[in-house]
Amino acid sequence: ERILFRGGFAGSEDDSDEESRSSSYDEDMTFSEIMRRVHQNGPYITAFEGGGELNWIQNMTNEDWEELGRGLSNNTRLETVRFYGGALSDHRVDILFQGLTRSSSIGKLSFCDNELSVAGVQSMVP
């Protein structure tokens, strides 16, 4: 069974390691905490999502977006990545995809409610 955490991660209730499972999500989570979770590569974390209203999304630098792309790409358990609610712009998606295109596990991307132009979408193609 999968559990989806708004602005965080999805996993399984069968995950016995409490540290690798996000049973509660703190909207004030920092970028460093998010990246720590991404790098854990936990076996039950199969989805990642972030909304434009979240503090850590709003405060990300260009370097943070590139680091997040690399981190998500290197996580071999992630199957789904979702950004919504204005989290992405053409510029952010271009930076994110500089690292994200190397992923071998991500099969589904969802970018609902982001105002991306044709150029922004084209920047996703390696």
DSSP string, 30-65: -HHHHHHHHHH--TT--EEEEETTSHHHHT--HHHH
Count of all residues that appear for the chain in the document: 126
Phi-psi region of 113 (alpha: psi -120 to 50; beta: other; left: phi over 0): left
Beta bridge partners of 47: 10, 80
Provide the residue-wise pLDDT of the chain in tens; the chain has 126 residues: 333 334 445 554 444 444 434 333 456 678 888 888 888 888 778 888 889 988 889 999 999 999 999 999 999 988 999 999 999 999 999 999 888 878 889 999 999 999 899 888 888 887
